[in-house]
A = this chain, B = another copy of it.
Amino acid sequence: MNKKQPVYLKLFETISHAILDGKYKDGDLLPSVRAFASTQGANPLTVAKAYQLFQDRGLVTVKRGVGLFVANGAVQKLRNAERQNFIDNSWPEISKHMHRIGIELSDLIEQEG
């Protein structure tokens, strides 16, 4: 239903996925605000807004004048947070919706192959 997402949230997801997929590990230097903005075709301030979300969660360490680094233990921390959020928030509603429209978990398993 709702597919439209603000750019800064899309960027946040892009970076999150990169971290979860192992592209950036603990201590790694993230792309600079301006560089990442350039590759993504976005505004530097929008990228900064996305990075700000990581700072708010303590997932990156800022070295002013140098760049942003993936904080110690951030990869695991991010994965745990995502898992907890999925279990607590996303899944219950998904499960409800599935039940309402008559789709069971067993109907989905076969597609995993």
Contacts and interface: CB of A to CB of B under 8 A. Distances in A.
Contact of A100 (B2, B20, B87, B105): B20
A66 interface: no
A112 B86 contact: no
Q: How many copies does the complex hold?
A: 2
Contact residues of A: prevailing secondary structure: helix
Contact of A101 (B2, B3, B86, B97): B86
Interface string A45-68: 000000000000000000000000
A28 to B, nearest CB: 18
Interface in A1-23: 1-3, 5, 9, 13, 17, 20-21
17 contacts: A1-B13, A2-B2, A2-B5, A2-B9, A20-B100, A21-B100, A79-B102, A82-B97, A82-B100, A82-B101, A83-B102, A86-B98, A86-B101, A91-B108, A95-B112, A105-B105, A105-B109
